[in-house]
Amino acid sequence: MPIEAEIAAALELQQQGRTEDALSCCLPLLTLDLDDFRVHFLVGMLYRQLEKSAPAIFHFSKAVDLQPDLASAHYNLGVLHYAEGRMTEAAASYQRAAQLLPDDPDIFFNLALTFKSLGRYCEAKSCYEQVLAVNPDDIDAHYNLGVLLRDMHEAEEAISSFEKAAALSPAHLPSRKHLASLFHLLGHREKALAAYQAILALDPDNESALHMVAALAGETPEAPPLSYVRELFDRFSERYDETMAEKLECSIEKQLRDMLDSRCGDIRFARGLDMGCGTGLSGLALKERVRHFTGIDLSAGMLRQAREKGAYDEVVQGDIITFLKKTDKLYDFFLAADVFVYLGDLRQVFDLVRQKAHPGACFVFSSETCDAGFRLQESGRYAHAENYVRELAAQCGFHFDCCRPARLRKEKGEWIRGNLYLLTVAC
């Protein structure tokens, strides 16, 4: 049978969904040493459909060796390299495909994703713009360009892209969420409130939007939804350390360590619990003081970072209240660094810490401040008055050892002020 007939038979089997049979039809052709790019390309496609990337890459590579201008083979190599995490190779393959097919939006879209993964943001932006030049109504391109621009700290341009995506698809919830977040970040209160309300019109039970509407409307629920906190830090986990240290100039863990040094001398604790441990920055700062240190956090993304740092002997995913209720262990050191900004009413956590505390235990934490009681601020974070903390500490059986004013983080160029606290349990 002529090679054209063999290829046609294999293609017919492929169209029938008989991929294995199509491959069996093609493989004998490879033994004929014909060096026909069509055979290698088809075999590559069949292996790709069978999710066998190594032989697929081999045959696509052979196809482009034989036919360097075969754009579809370069494109498929890009797809396979990207899936395997070989971004440099993926970019090279997509770039060659783009040179051959300069008006193909799919190639430029995938190349944009690849450039972003490589940190080549300007080139990724150019690729998305190329997609939109061909197809101005591509919602995914507008949305992904918005995400890229946000990561480039081009907030106003990002808003424009998300607005275009939302205009093309009013029910596009991811664009609505980014718009709300960016308006809030830029201090456009009314626009942020309207954007969060637009989210609720599409998703009435969206807990993050409900929390932020409450914050912007001046309401103060006792606590935010756990899902809000979890989603916030899962999104934030990869860039948390850099953002806190460089952009926000946050050094709460170091300030808490300095307070402990001055108040407790060289005391080492037998068993410590970092409640809301995040990426482990506080654990690293204080691990030398604690023989066995456990970190707990809602966010799986944050805990991955903490594990990599080796800051704790044990890490647990979960919320503080549930953990304290269930644990049968007692601790002599409790830490909550930049945690109570995500909890309004502190009574339950204070009660539980006291119940799980050894005599002589220390409880150190930070909080933003307000005039009285506790309040949900427009930032979405809670603040607690010093008198509220003092009264609650006394009611729950703690000795109020120390309160230090502190500069917690920078926001819009201004310091957010708060307090560092040290409570103890009588021996």
CB-based contacts of 205-210 (< 8 A; 24+ apart in sequence):
208/177, 208/232, 209/177, 209/180
Q: What is the CATH number of domain 235-424?
A: 3.40.50.150
pLDDT at residue 23, as a whole number: 65
Calculate helix-pair angle for 71-83, 53-66, nearest 10 degrees.
150
Distances (CA, A) of 404 to 252, 259, 385: 12, 8, 13
pLDDT at residue 266, as a whole number: 85
**Three-class DSSP category at 295:** strand
For the beta carbon of residue 200, count every other beta carbon within 10 angstroms.
15
- Where do the structural domains in the chain lie, given as residue ranges? 235-424
For the beta carbon of residue 267, count every other beta carbon within 10 angstroms.
13
pLDDT at residue 237, as a whole number: 58
- The DSSP code for 368 is E
Where the chain has pLDDT below 50, the residues are none
What's the whole-model pTM score? 0.81
> CA-CA distance, 218 to 413, in Å (whole number)?
23
Q: Report angle CA 236, 238, 241 to the nearest 5 degrees.
A: 85
* CA-based nearest residue to 399, from 416, 421, 417: 421
pLDDT at residue 352, as a whole number: 98
* CA-based nearest residue to 106, from 84, 74, 81, 61: 74
**Three-class DSSP category at 220:** coil
> CA-CA distance, 392 to 121, in Å (whole number)?
49
* CA-based nearest residue to 110, from 136, 153, 65, 74: 74
